[in-house]
Every structure is written in C-alpha cells, then in structure tokens.
Amino acid sequence: MSANTSAPMTGGQTGQAGPAGVGAGSVIHDLGYRRYDGLRLGRAQIVRALAWHSFRAAFGFGRGAKAKIVPLVALVALCLPAIVNAFAMSRGNARIVDYDTYTPTFRDLLMTVFVAVQAPELVSRDLRSRVLPLYFARPIKTIDYPLAKYLAFTGACLVMMELPLLLLYGGSIANVHGGAAVWGQTRALIPGLLVGLMWAVVLAAISLFLASLTGRRAFATGAVAIFFLLTFTLAEILLQVESNLNQVGPAVPVQTGPGGQIVKHVLPPAPDVAEKVSGLFSPFTLFDGVRMWLGGAADPADGVANPGAFGVVYALVLIAILALCLYGLAARYRKARLA
Amino acid sequence: MSVIKIENVSRWYGNVVAVNDITVDIGPGVTGLLGPNGAGKSTILHMIAGFLAPSRGSLTVHDVPTWHNPDIYRTLGLVPERDSVYAFLTGEEFVRATAKLHRLGNPGAATRRAIEMTEMSSAADRRIATYSKGMRQRIKVAAALVHDPEILLLDEPFNGMDPRQRIHMMELLAKLGAEGRTILFSSHILEEVEKLSGTIQVMVAGRLAASGDFREIRRLMTSRPHVFNVRSSDDRRLAALLVGRPYTTAVELTAKGLQVRTSDFGAFCAQIATLTRDQKIALRELLPTDESLESVFGYLISSQGN
Amino acid sequence: MTPPTGPGAEPAADAGLGAVAPPVIQAAALTKVYPGGVIALGGLTVTFAPGVTGLIGANGAGKSTLIKILLGLVEPTEGTATVLGHDSVTGGEQIRQVVGYMPEHDCLPPDVSATEFVTHMGRMSGLPATAARERAAEALRHVGLHEERYRQIGTYSTGMKQRVKLAQALAGDPRLLLLDEPTNGLDPAGRNAMLELIERIGVEFGISIVVASHLLGEIERICDHLVAIEGGRLLRADSIDTFTRASQTLLIEVEEGLAALQEELTRRGLRPTAYQRSLLVPIGGDGTYDAVRDTVADLGLPLSRMEQRRHQVEELFRDPGPAGPGTADSAWEAADVR
C-alpha cells in the first residue's frame, strides 16, 4: 500500500479545466500521511536542543507564571547589590561590593535557594512523570540525557553568578574615569568571573545529583537545601570550636607604654591545621578556601580564614566532589529503564 | 434462589455517588459485573464483602446483612484488585496464613487443596515478590478459596494475565460455578466476560443499566434495528426480495455480502429460511453482527437502555 | 491442529509477503539472562514480516527485555537481533532513529500541552525545530486530537493520553512502531477507536507495526501476523489467517425448537451435536447448507444464525483437553479432524 499520494485530485478530468466560468479547476488535496525526507539532526544537536529546553526550564520558561517566581526573584535579588553599588558610586563613593566575594552570605543563601528549587524542575519532574523511556527510545545515548541536563543547569547557575557581576562592572565603569580606572575594574572582574564559574560548575553537579535521586520535587528540594545548610553549619561549628581553642590563653602584652597601658598585643596565631580542615566540610567554605589560595582577598564575612598552602587540599576535595556527583548523576541514568 | 440480595443500595462519598440505587439478586453460577472504569463495580463488591457500609439500602447474603458481620467470612471469599499480598512470604505461607486466620481445622490440607486448584503447586515455595502479575492473581484466588467459601467475589481478576493463564482461570471459575457456588466477578474487558458468564450485570455511572443474558438483553432493545450479515448464492435477488418485506428497514450490498437491517427480529428469523428455500437461493451465512457483548454494552452505555 | 513449535524446531515461517519484502525484525537464538539467574529470553528465534503483527504471551520480564533489545538499549547474552536491517548491538542509534515506541505505562508530563510535548519529542528525534512543529501538528491530527491539544495533558482522559503517546511515536516518521498494550485502560468505545487508528496506520500509512497485547480478540481483528512467545521462547509465529482458518463445521442457532431441530437433522442424516445454545453440523459439501436450511424451513423455525465456524487464536493457548467424546468442545474439534 503506497504511503502517500501527493498529487491533488482536480475537479473533472485530470489536467483539464473545470466547466467554463467556474475557474481553472477545483482541487481536493490529499491530507494523508506524509513521510519525512528532510534533514535529521545528529546526537550533538539533539543534546543541544534538550539542553536549551532545560536551560529555559531552569528559569521557569515553558511552564507558566508560577514556575518563574523563584528563579527570577532570586536573580533580581542577586542583582540588587550591584545596582545599589552603582547608585552609591554615582554619589562619589568607592565601590562597595567586591567582584570576588560579592555579598557572601547573601549569595550563599540565594544560590542555595535557586539550586534547591530549580534542580528538581530539571530532573525530578521527568522521573515523576516516567517520561524517560521516551527519551531513551530516541537516537541518543543514555549518557546524553544527564549530560544535557548538566550543561543546561551549569549554564543557568552561570547566569545567576555572572549577571550580577557584569552589572556591577557596568555600574562601576560608568562611574569611574580614565582608562586606568577602567582597566583596574576589568582586572578585578576577571577573577570574580572565574569564581562564578567554579561555583556554577560545582553547585550544578551537586544539586542535580541529589535531585535525581527522587521524583518528588518537594523531597528533592528539601534534600538539596538540607545538604547545603547542614554542611555549612557543620563547617562553621567546627571552625568556631577550633578558633575558640586557639584563643585560649592570655593575650601576651609585648609593649607597655608610659603609665603601664598595654599598647600592643601579640596577634592571634595563624589558623592551624584543624581550622583549615574544618573548611573542607562545606562547598561554600571550599569555594572561599580555593579562592583565597589562588590569591583572592580575605573577606571578614568569609566562612574560613586563608588556608595558605593547604588550599591545594581544598581544590582537590572540590574536584573530588565534582567528579563524584557527575559520576553519580551518570550512573543514575545508565540503566535505560523502560518502565 | 438468590444468595446475594441487594435492595435499593446507594453509596456516596460527599457529592460523589459511587453506587446509585441498585436493586439486584445474584444466585449460584457465574455472574459478570460489567461497566466502564469508575462505574461503581469495586464499590459494590466491597459492600457485598462487608468492607463498606451502604449509605442507604440493604445488602444481605442468605438474608443476613454483610456489614459488621465477621461471620460472613466463613462463606465468602474476596479477591481484591489491588496487590494485597505480602511479597516477602512464599505463596504457600501466604495461603496457610489465611487458612489459620479462618481457624480451619486442618490448615495444611486446605492450603494444599487451594494451591492445587489454582495450579500454583510448582511455584508455591517461592517468594511472592518473584511472581508475575498473573501468578499473584492466582495466589490471591487460592487464599480466597482456602476456606472453601460458597461465595467468591473477584475484582478484575484477569488483569494482566496472559492468554493461557486467563483460560485456566476462566475454567476454574466455570468449574466452581458449576459446583453451585456463587461467583461474581467484575471486569471492563468484554472479551473475557463474554466467554465466561451466562448472566451479566451492567453498571454505568453507579446505576444498574441491564441484567441478564446479554443476547436476551439485545433482543429487548427493540428501538435499535438488528443488523445481519447475509451471504447467499444470489445476493442481489435476495436483497430485492428482502426490501419487499415489511420487517426490512434497509439492505446494503457490500463486497462481503448483504447487510440487512430489520425492525422485527422475530419476523425476519421466522421467514428467512422459508424465503430462501422457496426462492431456491442457497444460504451460506447468516450472522447477527451486533449481538456481541461489546455491541450490547456499547448500546447500553450510549443510550442507557431501551 | 499443528502442535506448538518447541525450541530447536523450525518455527513456522510467516506467510506474509515473505519472499518479496524483507522482514522488519529478525531474532536468532536471542537469549538474555540477568544477574541472579533470571532467564528473560531463552533462545528466541523468530521473524517479523512487514504489516501489523501481534505479539502475545510475553509477559513481564520477557516482553520488556525483548523491546529493550530491539531498541538497542540492552545487549543480549547470546544471539542476535536485527531491526530494519540494523544489528541491535552495533546499530542501536540507527534503529532508534526509525522506530517509534509507545510504552504501556503512563509516561506523559501533566503540565504541558500535547502540542508542546509532541513537538519537543519530535526535536528529540532529531527533527529541526520547524519540522518538529509541523510533524507534531500532523501527528496529533492523525490521532484525532483537535482543540484539546492546546490544553495540558493532565486534564486528558485515558483515551486522549494514549493518543498522545501514539502521536509522539509517529512524529519522527518511523518505519516501525512498537506499541505496548495500546488499549490498556480504555473503555470499549475507546478501545475500538484506538484499534481503528492502528489499523489505519498499518494500512494507509505504510508503517509496520508490532502490537503487544494479551487480548486475543483485538489481535485477531487488526493483525496480519501473530508471534506467540511463552517462557522466553517462541511458541508459534504465523499469519493470522492460519489461526483463523475456517473449520469444516457449521454452527446453527434457532430462536426456539432447538431440540426438535436436532432430532430432525439427525433423522435426515446430518449428525448434529449440541453446543451451548446452538448446533454443530459437519459440512459434507455445499449440500449441507441447503439441507439445514430446508430442515429449518420445513419445521417453520426462526433461524438466527448460520455460519461456518472459524478457528480462533485462543486455541493456541488451550491445552489439548482431557475432554472425552460427547462433550461439545471436543465434538466440534473432532469434527474438524479429517
């Protein structure tokens, strides 16, 4: 049975015009099934299409208004410090927000909220609706699904991290004069962007992996949020304990002025190994540690103190976490379950 | 002699009326309870089994109400639709546990008998978690049979069974029905019901749409003309003859023969043999096309009766 | 009745277009053993011809394993499978390019519209954006979803959801469709509509279809061929016509007077047997029909059915019964054995 006939059926005999005065032949078109002989895109483009689709979903696009609330509010909130900074600078103040650290606790919190709420949108939904067999029955490899999701979410986190920085940059150079000043801003921006990249790559991996463990979005959000909260609190507690221990003992006066007042104290000792290790227990403190190891400035709101040469351990641990989460994510989807 | 008497029974959940004023008697033999999903079949079965109370009306087995009546379980077995087995038990353990719950005198023998009846002897020592869906159904039936009940209620018993298992289950139910037990099973797959039960009860949206033998039900639908497929040695001449008869409303000539619509089933049947004989037309096939349970059911659903 | 084909024996070759058109699926000694010793498939050797083929009897592990192997998602422990000319192990992606799969279970997200979903799935099949949109719209039209397609899938009835599943399988223009229990959960009207749709696809669209189902009536209705699997092995593969060939028995029903009819037919030497509410008469030739008709007319009985019995697929699954002579079933089967 032939699949289709694309030749339309003309009124009257084929090829002949209809009765005079009615026009040059009426036609009934065949609306039967049509084959597709056009271009077929390969795996790479399918992955790209899925990644783009997921990237949009990370900001709630393609889903209706309610889904956009959390991500867009988070993005706007994260941009606010940059806007405030531009405003302040226009009044003649120096830049109040850093490129490296931005607004540390604020950013920690907002990024946690963002990944906790949005990672499930990307992976838990599909698990819940059991749509995966339809993906796996397509001309892609099973690894392509988690790959596309990871690329998409890293991109989304990157936007969250870098857009505020770019706004900060724009606001700053608008308020400084002279090539040297602009160049100074640019030089400060670059490390900030790299820090943002580090955050995006790792946060996306951790949150997607955790979210892929369950199809229930509420549980997934809870799991991700609790993970970040708990680890951060743990690191902080350990740090507090350590630094309290360090400060035990009298501050030794070194120099007394006339009248016996203490003029100078010995500075608190550099963080010892135990303190440095505490910083390994939370991704956020790991980020700070790596940043400082690579030469970034310390910030009083940092979770940890500068680890110095120990920073290489921080970097290794971060890479290990990244590798583990990516492996876990891939393993989660390795067996193509059709049911 | 009715075993189960249902009188003006309704069951509602807030605004949702699951069963709406049903009156029916069910006797020994196999009865099929039919209806689309959500028609109220499960609800009725659970009420008969005493798990749900009717919101109104009375449900009695041997004239004793089933609600709040644990004694009823001596004579009644229910095979529910959902998976209600403990997957970590072996088949044999599960049936034996049920036997003990019934306080049977010899649980071992009863268990063995029930398992043999459902042909699960070879798999009885394996854990239920390893069973296929059809096997789980059968072990549930075994558990429901272990106390040799007079009444057996089954909710969608053929769900997920492959053809061989289905045939075996049907033969088992037919045998039990022939022994004088009262078997009531629900299904939304007509193909299964057609082969098994003589009497059907059709439920639509909580109401009882029809009762009895489905062929007879069809005959009762006088508002719908019956459709016959007829093949003969001279279709065209036969068509012309039939058109001349008062009981014929339409005749269609197709590649496969004649399709005859008649408003008077009885008259058509009474005259067709004589007509073809006298006119020397050889009759090769006479087939009522819409007598299948599926057609009858379709008519009932769409027009809810006559 | 031909005995079922066991392992090792040559399975009955399909009687379809065999010599002219290449088979769509070929399995040779296909075996899959899972860790833990579960044997899902144990040496399955079968050929699927073009057209609509029913797949019966493979339940649970066997069926889902077979589908995964055919889609190139799982490697068999032994043996090979070829789908539309591609080997399932080395050509998995090519297979998935030309095969559409409709799963048995719920697999649709509730919060997108059918249009969006099928378009997205079209893109996942490798169609460029515009083509995906157009083919999605066409596929939804073919399956009969109209304005509903703009509503969210969560608001759909089961029948509509099944159609969406079918549409997403069609959007990529497959050469072969694998439909797993397509009428699952549908009421009789919905089942009818789905079966008509599948038949239309098979006949008009020129796409080969494999329908996995356990409802034999459905399979008899729309399939050209049948593959029956049992215990991970081939039970029988043949064209449906072979299974539903006519038997040499005539079935007669009258609205009243059955006993009298039986008596008179016996008297006239036609050897009727009672069967449920009808009579079975062995066909000795064309004359049998006339003799029966005349008897009914002579007795003035209302004739409501006269048909040559056909065999049914179901018989494949019936064990040869212990029924002795005298019971109706064996009688009409015995009448057929010549």
ipTM of the complex: 0.83
Spell out which residues of chain A touch residue C135, defining contact as CB-CB under 8 Å. 36
CB contact under 8 A, B191 and C314: no
Which residue in C97, C103, C124 is closest to A50 by CB distance?
Answer: C124
Q: Which pLDDT score is estimated for A264?
A: 56
Q: DSSP strand E in C49-151: where?
A: 52-56, 78-83, 86-87, 99-102
DSSP state letter for A130: T
pLDDT category, C323, cuts 50, 70, 90?
A: very low
Spell out which residues of chain C touch residue B284, defining contact as CB-CB under 8 Å. 289, 308
Cα A233 to Cα A226, A228, B62, C148: the distances in Å are: 10, 8, 69, 50
Cα-trace Rg, chain B: 24
Q: What is the residue type of B252?
A: E
pTM: 0.81
Instruction: Between A75 and C325, name the one with better pLDDT.
Output: A75
Instruction: Between C6 and A216, name the one with better pLDDT.
Output: A216
Instruction: Give the highest mean pLDDT range of A244-248, B90-94, C105-109.
Output: C105-109
CB contact under 8 A, C93 and A43: yes
CB contact under 8 A, C60 and B287: no
Q: Per mean pLDDT, which range of A273-277, A321-325, B183-187, B204-208 is the poorest? A: A273-277
Instruction: Between B222 and A45, name the one with better pLDDT.
Output: A45
Q: What's the first-to-final CA gap in chain C, in angstroms?
A: 11
d(CA A304, CA A315): 14
CB contact under 8 A, C128 and A338: no
Spell out which residues of chain C touch residue B136, defining contact as CB-CB under 8 Å. none
Query: Rounded to a whole number, what is the distance in Å from the CA of B216 to chain C's nearest CA?
Result: 11
Q: Per mean pLDDT, which range of B215-229, C112-126, C275-289 is the poorest? A: B215-229
Six-digit token string for A132: 């995966």
Query: Rounded to a whole number, what is the distance in Å from the CA of B126 to chain C's nearest CA?
Result: 13
pLDDT of C208 strictly over 90: yes
For β-strands B257-262 and B226-232, DSSP reports them as: antiparallel
CB contact under 8 A, B164 and C296: no
Q: Per mean pLDDT, which range of A208-217, A241-250, B274-283 is the poorest? A: A241-250
CB contact under 8 A, C189 and B298: yes
pLDDT of B210 strictly over 70: yes
CB contact under 8 A, B282 and C301: no
d(CA C278, CA C304): 10
Q: DSSP strand E in chain A: where?
A: 9-10, 27-28, 253-256, 262-265
Which residue in C61, C158, C188 is closest to B298 by CB distance?
Answer: C188
Q: Per mean pLDDT, which range of A41-50, B20-29, C58-67 is the poorest? A: C58-67
Q: Which pLDDT score is estimated for A269?
A: 55
Which residue in C60, C302, C306 is closest to B132 by CB distance?
Answer: C60
Q: Which pLDDT score is estimated for A118?
A: 96
Interfacial residues of A (vs C; Cβ cutoff 8 Å): 1-3, 32-36, 38-43, 45-46, 49-50, 53, 62-64, 125-126, 129-131, 133-142, 336, 338-339
For β-strands C52-56 and C208-212, DSSP reports them as: parallel
pLDDT category, C183, cuts 50, 70, 90?
A: very high
pLDDT category, A222, cuts 50, 70, 90?
A: very high
Instruction: Between C315 and A5, name the one with better pLDDT.
Output: C315
DSSP state letter for C152: B
CB contact under 8 A, C286 and B282: yes
**Chains B, A in contact, 3 or more Cβ pairs below 8 Å:** no
**Chains C, A in contact, 3 or more Cβ pairs below 8 Å:** yes
Size of interface B-C (CB pairs under 8 A): 97
Instruction: Between C130 and A275, name the one with better pLDDT.
Output: C130
CB contact under 8 A, C289 and B132: no
Q: Which pLDDT score is estimated for C17?
A: 47
pLDDT category, A253, cuts 50, 70, 90?
A: low
Q: What is the residue type of B7?
A: E
Interface of B with C in 102-161 (CB under 8 A): 132-134, 160-161
A257: helix, coil or strand? coil
Mean pLDDT for B217-240 is: 86
Q: Which pLDDT score is estimated for C133?
A: 94
**Chains B, C in contact, 3 or more Cβ pairs below 8 Å:** yes
Spell out which residues of chain A touch residue C118, defining contact as CB-CB under 8 Å. none
Most A CBs within 10 Å, among C124, C205, C224, to test the A interface: C124
pLDDT of C1 strictly over 70: no
CB B34 within 8 A of CB B200: yes
CB contact under 8 A, A135 and C110: no
Closest C-chain CA to B276: C293
Query: Rounded to a whole number, what is the distance in Å from the CA of C302 to chain B's nearest CA?
Result: 4
Q: What percent of chain C has pLDDT over 90?
A: 59
d(CA C96, CA C29): 22
**Per-residue pLDDT reduced to its tens digit, C6-25:** 444 444 444 444 456 789 99
Backbone angles phi, psi at C308, to 5 degrees: -80, 120
Please check whether residue C56 touches B, CB under 8 A. Answer: yes
Residues in chain A: 339
Most C CBs within 10 Å, among A129, A149, A335, to test the C interface: A129
Most A CBs within 10 Å, among C74, C89, C107, to test the A interface: C107
Please check whether residue B272 touches C, CB under 8 A. Answer: yes
pLDDT of A266 strictly over 90: no
Q: DSSP strand E in chain C: where?
A: 25-33, 39-48, 52-56, 78-83, 86-87, 99-102, 176-180, 208-212, 225-230, 233-239, 246-254, 273-275, 278-282, 303-310
Q: Which pLDDT score is estimated for C4?
A: 44
Q: Which pLDDT score is estimated for A110?
A: 95
Query: Rounded to a whole number, what is the distance in Å from the CA of B160 to chain C's nearest CA?
Result: 8
pLDDT of B274 strictly over 60: yes
Q: Which pLDDT score is estimated for B303?
A: 63
Mean pLDDT for C51-74 is: 87
Closest A-chain CA to C102: A134
